[in-house]
């Protein structure tokens, strides 16, 4: 945890046989200007870590 930021990384991967293979993943959560930012990077199919999904979430009033 670094201020309003949390970095997570895999140290083990457990998945069903039907899921695609990947060797590593990271997730980053951050609180910026009242929004929760989220990014998910994965190393899939023998490749290097690359952006897989991200979002900017705002509070619903």
Per DSSP bridges, beta strands 50-57 and 22-32 are unpaired
Average pLDDT rounded to a whole number, residues 11-33: 89
Domains identified in the chain, total number: 1
Query: Which residues neighbour 23 within 8 Å (Cβ) at sequence distance 6 or greater?
Result: 13, 43, 44, 46
Domain with 38, as residue range(s), is: 5-57
**Closest-CA residue to 10 (of 21, 30, 26, 22):** 26
Report the chain's mean pLDDT, rounded to a whole number.
90
pLDDT digits (tens, 9 = 90+) for 32-44: 988 999 999 999 8
């Amino acid at each position: 945890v670094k201020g309003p930021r949390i970095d997570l990384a895999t140290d083990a991967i457990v998945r069903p046989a039907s899921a695609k293979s990947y060797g590593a993943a990271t997730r980053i959560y951050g609180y910026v200007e009242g929004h929760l930012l989220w990014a998910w990077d994965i190393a899939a199919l023998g490749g290097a870590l690359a952006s897989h999904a991200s979002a900017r979430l705002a509070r619903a009033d």
